[in-house]
A and B are shown apart, each in its own frame.
Chain A
């Protein structure tokens, strides 16, 4: 294993993780808002924001699915050392990471059960750009309406219809992150 894969983690794990968690949580609590994350230097092709999200949310008990280009030796090794998360397929993952095309189709991810709606997957979607424009969002955490540049609309409408089951999404681009929980209505 190359030592490079052992670098790029949080330099000060306790404080870095606390700041990152705040950013990730704010993004999910206020759908459509964009937050900057820092503290990780993941190997290509991962964005900084996606790397920080993995370090913050994943551990040995959260199976991760790496989709498409994200599934390369450098990323596998980096995730293994810094989070210990086991790698798995889409049907058994708790977190999935990749581009929108690589992550699709969404039908294979776990959406939770009526007793445990939380036993569902969170998808980290690597995006070319993120902007507060495009699709209109309404729902919990949004005062009136918000807007976010989503890759499409239909898939998120279908997902919201599953509530309280369903998937939750992060969108990452460079060091920026936004989120779309299953509770958000998309139009």
Chain B
């Protein structure tokens, strides 16, 4: 039986009106501006840009305000907006070697050209609540020191010189784009990296953590972690040359992993790679670990059956908008589906009762 139902329009409108009021909260408390969110909740803004897959701090801040701070809802809003934009083209690959670094650390080498630059990090804080922030307070300007304007070289370059680490072979194959063509298996590394950079931070973190705990262990060191700005350059067809169309903040993580060697490769270090919009360090490290775990096949390693080695499992479950869409849809009306289930259970019970009745009679 098919039951068409209608109604609830007024209830929905009133629910939305109440949502708007609740979003505003107590009207005697000052309203948040987009600029305040952009400047003071910048790591939330960064996460929304990374997983929304659209670099625009003002839009991300607006989405966070509209979503009442629910970051997955904000990411959903950004993804929806993104689909309305005509795409002018693709940039040249950004040169992270040319990054103006706010932060650049290596866990593998103490002394390295450019040095260990901590940047504005939570590391080494005591994780004690700072009640001074509960009161208004002026922040003193951060100290400054003479800076060396030279570009900061990549750490993996040093290992490269000794031939102790696999090389990232230059290649200019146009990459596949999962926003244009459905994600298909087997996914090459370019497609995996695109899926991972926009993947849910929590999922990526858990997958990365599982490899550290032994599920597809590959013993990663953070060869280098850098955060800073790079210019984005694009060829403009009507001009016949490339120009910089903007500047973005990125977090890049390269891991250095043990590798015992295979039939074709000598023992050496291998690499995992993470590159994410904004200052998003936990995500970039997680991405590098998961990238490395997914590379087992091309490196000739054993598949030990670990979840993080299963590209289909990882890539098809990493997107929080797909996940939340499917998960949350089950709260929407399923009256007809459930009606048929109900009929089925009643029928099954009747036949069980009937046969029990017969057995009792015999």
Classify A-B as touching or not with yes or no (CB < 8 A).
yes
Identify which of A1, A60, A84 contacts B240 (C-beta below 8 A): A1
**What residues on B are CB-neighbors of A80 within 8 Å?**
237-238
B93 interfacial by beta-carbon distance below 8 Å: no
Q: Mark A50-66, 1 if CB is under 8 A from B, else 0.
A: 00000000011100000
Whether the pair B238, A81 counts as a contact (CB closer than 8 A) is yes
Whether the pair A1, B238 counts as a contact (CB closer than 8 A) is yes
Q: Which applies to chain B's interface (DSSP): helix, strand, loop or mixed?
A: loop
Whether the pair A84, B88 counts as a contact (CB closer than 8 A) is yes
Q: Mark A65-97, 1 if CB is under 8 A from B, else 0.
A: 000000000000100110010000000000000
Whether the pair B86, A59 counts as a contact (CB closer than 8 A) is yes
**What residues on A are CB-neighbors of B87 within 8 Å?**
59-61
A147 interfacial by beta-carbon distance below 8 Å: no
Whether the pair A60, B88 counts as a contact (CB closer than 8 A) is yes
Q: Which residue of chain A has its CB nearest to the CB of B89?
A: A60
Whether the pair A81, B237 counts as a contact (CB closer than 8 A) is yes
Whether the pair B89, A84 counts as a contact (CB closer than 8 A) is yes
Number of A residues with CB within 8 Å of any CB on chain B:
9
Identify which of B88, B90, B238 contacts A6 (C-beta below 8 A): B238
**What residues on B are CB-neighbors of A1 within 8 Å?**
238-240
CB distance from B235 to the nearest CB of A (A): 10
Q: Which residue of chain B has its CB nearest to the CB of A87?
A: B237
Q: How far is the CA of A81 from the CA of B239 in the complex (A)?
A: 9
CB distance from B205 to the nearest CB of A (A): 33
Q: How far is the CA of A68 from the CA of B90 in the complex (A)?
A: 29
Question: Given A1-B240, A80-B238, A61–B88 Cβ distance below 8 Å?
Answer: no
**What residues on B are CB-neighbors of A77 within 8 Å?**
238
Q: Which residue of chain B has its CB nearest to the CB of A81?
A: B238
Q: Which of B215-250 contact A (CB under 8 A)?
A: 237-240
**What residues on A are CB-neighbors of B86 within 8 Å?**
59
**What residues on A are CB-neighbors of B126 within 8 Å?**
none
Q: Which of A1-49 contact B (CB under 8 A)?
A: 1, 6
Q: How far is the CA of A6 from the CA of B239 in the complex (A)?
A: 11
B127 interfacial by beta-carbon distance below 8 Å: no
Q: Which residue of chain A has its CB nearest to the CB of B86?
A: A59
CB distance from A76 to the nearest CB of B (A): 9
**What residues on A are CB-neighbors of B90 within 8 Å?**
60
**What residues on B are CB-neighbors of A61 within 8 Å?**
87, 180
Residue with the greatest number of chain A CB neighbours at <10 A, chosen from B89, B237, B238: B237
Nearest first, the 3 closest Cβ-Cβ pairs linking A and B are A80-B237, A81-B238, A60-B89
With A6-B238, A60-B89, A61-B87 given, can you name 9 additional A-B contacts, CB distance below 8 Å?
Answer: A1-B238, A59-B86, A59-B87, A60-B87, A60-B88, A77-B238, A80-B237, A81-B237, A81-B238
Show 20 A/B contacts (Cβ-Cβ < 8 Å), sorted by A: A1-B238, A1-B239, A1-B240, A6-B238, A59-B86, A59-B87, A60-B87, A60-B88, A60-B89, A60-B90, A61-B87, A61-B180, A77-B238, A80-B237, A80-B238, A81-B237, A81-B238, A84-B88, A84-B89, A84-B237
